[in-house]
Amino acid sequence: MKILVTGSAGFIGFHLVNKLLSENHEVVGIDNLNTYYDTKLKIDRLYEQGVKYKSNKIKFKFRNYTFYECDIVDNFNLKLIFKNEKPDLVCNLAAQAGVRYSLTNPNAYIKSNIVGFQNVIECCKNFKINNFLYASSSSVYGANRKLPFSTKDITDSPISLYGATKKSNELVAHSYSHLYNIKSVGLRFFTVYGPWGRPDMALFLFVKALINDEKIKVFNKGNMLRDFTYIDDIVEGIFSIIKNPIKDPFKIYNIGNNKPVNLLDFVNVIEKCLDKKFKIEFKDIQPGDVKDTYADVSGLYSDFKFKPKTNIEFGVRKFIDWYLNYYKVKK
């Protein structure tokens, strides 16, 4: 099967491409390599997959992986890629990520998460691609206070622009599914972490700070729960859907660990791994932040017999091992 993955040099995209290649699928990757975080990390991810990036090139080919440097907002070049590659399935992971960044850079979210998303799903319509997976987020649950979060819950009250754009993706996908018979699957990811992760995420920030003897900020005085979900579980969840296409025209699944962890317990796990103590500055909860997240994954298990299984101790250790090796840090 030929699978097109947008955001392929991003954290989840990188790991998904690795999985698809290991299963002998032909993969077409698209990424704009933006500067939201260090571009070197994205280029190094590509290098791990055999793509020797050069800034004056647009297309790269390595075995059964073809990579294009392209922004999904660039509708003209996006359509050319779809026309030339003719994928069987599209997995849209490209997005402007981060709740807090959306408070100061809202236009980036409208462009990538709404205009870009629309461009991708419109290409699916125009080029007769009937299988479409896309990244949603636990942020769509917003002000919902019922735990665990279920896909049956009403999600009309996002409390961040990021969450609002992800909810809009679900609504657009539903309309295209109804109008054009595109089978679409929305994946609500819960706090993904692991090797090659994003530098703006808590685990990355905390490990970096502890190694450098820097203070960390812990919001809501640590009174927060997060359903930390290891990257391998996320990818296995996505792949279980790819290899067993849904019969329903439209579905949404939570992909979370189904075991929320208190933020201070998370901090303690990091301290044990590095045998050091944090310097902590306790702060009030930030605007846009959800206090607790907890995924009901019964839908994913019912349809695909899949449930995340990686515990936080194992996952944090794997990330730290990668971090120390990648940045050549001696403990």
Q: pLDDT tens digit string along 191-222? A: 999 999 999 999 999 999 999 999 999 999 99
Residue 264 domain flag: no
pLDDT confidence bin for 331, thresholds 50/70/90: low
Mean pLDDT for the stretch of residues 58-83: 93
Residue 84 domain flag: yes
- Per DSSP, helices labelled H in 23-105 are 39-48, 75-85
Residue 81 domain flag: yes
**Is 226 in contact with 242 (CB distance < 8 Å)?**
no
Question: What is the structure's pLDDT at 192?
Answer: 98
Mean pLDDT for the stretch of residues 218-235: 96
Torsion angle, CA of 125/92/189/316, rounded to 10 degrees? Answer: 160
Closest to 117 in 3D by CA, of 89, 84, 90: 90
Q: What are the tens digits of pLDDT across the range 10-53?
A: 999 999 999 999 999 999 999 999 999 999 999 999 999 988 88
Residue 110 domain flag: yes
Planar angle of CA 179, 7, 167, nearest 5 degrees: 45
Q: What are the tens digits of pLDDT across the range 118-167?
A: 999 999 999 999 999 999 999 999 989 899 999 999 999 999 999 999 99
Residue 203 domain flag: no
Q: Residue 56 above 80 pLDDT?
A: no
Residue 97 domain flag: yes
Residue 186 domain flag: yes
pLDDT confidence bin for 78, thresholds 50/70/90: very high
**Is 65 in contact with 29 (CB distance < 8 Å)?**
yes
Structure-model confidence comparison of residues 330 and 79, the more confident one: 79
Length of the chain, in residues: 331
Q: What are the tens digits of pLDDT across the range 99-127?
A: 889 999 999 999 999 999 999 999 999 99
Q: What is the CATH number of the domain that holds 300?
A: 3.40.50.720
Q: Which residues contact 227 (CB under 8 A, 6 or more apart)?
A: 138, 190, 191, 256, 257, 258, 259, 260, 261, 293, 294, 295
Question: Can you point out the beta strands (E) in 140-284?
Answer: 183-189, 192-193, 215-219, 225-226, 229-230, 250-255, 261-262, 279-283
Which residues are catalytic, by number?
A: 162
Total of domains in the chain: 1
Quote the domain boundaries for residue 138. Answer: 2-196+228-258+292-310
Mean pLDDT, the chain, rounded, equals 95
Q: Residue 55 above 90 pLDDT?
A: no
Residue 106 domain flag: yes
